[in-house]
């Protein structure tokens, strides 16, 4: 293992990352997005005024413009360049179930698509001068950082997740990871298949959204056959988390399965809405940009 300081890349490492598929995907997504979701200058100081924001309950009264109140009879806050910078937190589920790619595997696995989404979010954040912090199921998140080194470190972490054979994976659930390793950020994107107890997920989301001013986006990523069980006759199933196996006639259970998965999704969506978060359901056949747009819409509020 290299003893180089975190965030410091050699020229050779930087050149290799330029050819990294996750980087190429992130750049392609960025080109398809509208430029900038909020203004964030790299040189503007925290006292450099640039626009107004209408006052909302809970906002600090420190920057209320009293002259504007006299002119319009409404409360407005003066906003400054530096204050528009955000910290974007990304929590990625790397559990065994995320490695599933579907019955025919014509699309990437859920984990691969999730890494593409995470890479795209990190790229957009870093190119706008925002900070980014990435948390995976393997451990605690690092410190928020900005710029190319932060993006490169995120890519290295995501690549390690894809190459991991599962031997180093934590037994903790995704909900448990969120609760155990909270991320200090302004916008938190949770990327998971949501295949676990929705009650535990709801509890973790309430805790994650508890910090004042934090926006939460929940991206649930599933394969097409997880949403709509195909008629495959007598089929063998294996739980990727426990290894438990069973044999089921899909024709007999298909309708019940669809009811169960729909109810499960609705319960997760209700939990997200209850903390005023944004819920987005994606399938592995979707391009990453659709999920990224969901996060950008939330960040641009």
Please indicate, yes or no, if residue 233 is contained in any of the structural domains.
yes
Total domain count, the chain? 2
8-state DSSP, 209: T
pLDDT of amino acid 1: 33
Please indicate, yes or no, if residue 6 is contained in any of the structural domains.
no
Please indicate, yes or no, if residue 36 is contained in any of the structural domains.
no
With 0-12 / 13-18 / 19 or more C-beta atoms within 10 angstroms meaning exposed / middle / buried, residue 6 is exposed
Please indicate, yes or no, if residue 286 is contained in any of the structural domains.
yes
Residue 75 shares a structural domain with residue 95: no
CATH number, domain of 167, equals 3.40.50.410
Reduced to 3 states (helix: H, G, I; strand: E, B; else coil), residue 79 is strand
Residue 73 shares a structural domain with residue 215: no
Residue 165 shares a structural domain with residue 243: yes
Across-strand partners of 192?
Answer: 220
Residue 116 shares a structural domain with residue 157: yes
Task: Please report which helix (H) or strand (E) contains residue 171, including its range.
Answer: none
When mean pLDDT is compared across 9-13, 40-44, 124-128, 192-196, the lowest value belongs to: 40-44
> DSSP string spanning 80-93?
ETGGG--EEEEEE-
Distance CA 297, CA 217 (A): 10
pLDDT of amino acid 167: 47
Residue 76 shares a structural domain with residue 199: no
CA 74-77-82 angle, to 5 degrees, is 165
- Span 122-149, average pLDDT: 86
End-to-end CA distance of the chain: 42
Please indicate, yes or no, if residue 148 is contained in any of the structural domains.
yes
Mean pLDDT of the chain: 80
Helices assigned H by DSSP within 239-283: 250-274
Look at the block and give the residue holding tokens 């659930």.
173
pLDDT of amino acid 297: 76
Q: Are 144 and 184 in contact (CB under 8 A)?
A: yes
pLDDT of amino acid 58: 63
168 vs 131, more confident: 131
Residue 77 shares a structural domain with residue 155: no
When mean pLDDT is compared across 44-53, 179-188, 270-279, the lowest value belongs to: 44-53
pLDDT of amino acid 8: 42
What's the token pair of residue 156?
Answer: 């290295």
pLDDT of amino acid 245: 87
Distance CA 119, CA 221 (A): 15
Reported pTM: 0.78
Domain span holding position 225:
11-31+85-299
- Helices 21-32, 110-127: axis angle to 10 degrees equals 60
Question: In this structure, how many other beta carbons lie within 10 angstroms of the beta carbon of residue 17?
Answer: 17
Q: Residues 55-95: pLDDT tens digits?
A: 666 666 676 777 766 666 677 776 554 555 789 999 999 99
Reduced to 3 states (helix: H, G, I; strand: E, B; else coil), residue 59 is coil
Q: Residues 101-119: pLDDT tens digits?
A: 987 777 899 999 999 999 9
Q: Residues 181-220: pLDDT tens digits?
A: 888 898 999 999 999 999 999 999 988 887 555 789 999 9
What's the token pair of residue 190?
Answer: 């949770």
In this prediction, residue 16 has a pLDDT band, given cuts at 50, 70 and 90, of low
What is each CA distance from 176 to 73, 107, 140, 241, 288, in whole angstroms?
47, 29, 12, 15, 26
Residue 76 shares a structural domain with residue 91: no
Q: What percent of the chain has pLDDT over 90?
A: 36
Residue 68 shares a structural domain with residue 181: no
Residue 72 shares a structural domain with residue 145: no
């Amino acid at each position: 293992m290299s003893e180089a300081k975190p965030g410091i890349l050699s020229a050779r490492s930087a050149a290799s990352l330029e050819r990294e598929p996750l980087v190429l995907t992130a750049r392609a997504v960025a080109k398809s997005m509208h430029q900038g979701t909020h203004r964030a200058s790299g040189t503007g100081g925290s006292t450099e005024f640039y626009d107004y924001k209408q006052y909302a309950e809970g906002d600090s009264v420190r920057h209320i413009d009293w002259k504007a109140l006299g002119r319009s009879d409404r409360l407005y806050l003066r906003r400054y360049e530096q204050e528009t910078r955000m910290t974007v937190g990304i929590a990625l589920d790397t559990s065994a179930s995320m490695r599933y790619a579907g019955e025919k595997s014509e699309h990437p696995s859920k984990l691969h698509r999730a890494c593409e989404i995470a890479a795209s979010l990190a790229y957009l954040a870093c190119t706008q001068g925002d900070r980014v912090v990435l948390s995976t199921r393997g451990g605690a998140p690092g410190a928020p950082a900005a710029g190319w080194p932060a993006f490169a470190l995120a890519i290295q972490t995501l690549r390690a997740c894809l190459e991991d054979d599962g031997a180093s994976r934590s037994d903790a659930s995704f909900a448990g990871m969120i609760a155990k390793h909270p991320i200090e950020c302004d916008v938190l994107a949770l990327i998971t298949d949501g295949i676990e107890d929705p009650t535990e997920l709801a509890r973790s989301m309430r805790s994650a959204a508890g910090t004042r001013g934090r926006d939460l986006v929940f991206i649930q990523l599933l394969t097409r056959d997880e949403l709509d069980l195909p008629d495959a006759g007598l089929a063998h199933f294996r739980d990727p988390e426990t290894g438990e196996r069973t044999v089921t006639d899909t024709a007999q259970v298909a309708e019940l399965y669809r009811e169960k998965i729909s109810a499960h999704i609705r319960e997760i969506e209700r939990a997200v809405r209850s903390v005023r978060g944004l819920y987005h359901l994606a399938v592995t056949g979707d391009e990453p940009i659709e999920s990224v747009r969901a996060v950008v819409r939330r960040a641009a509020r």
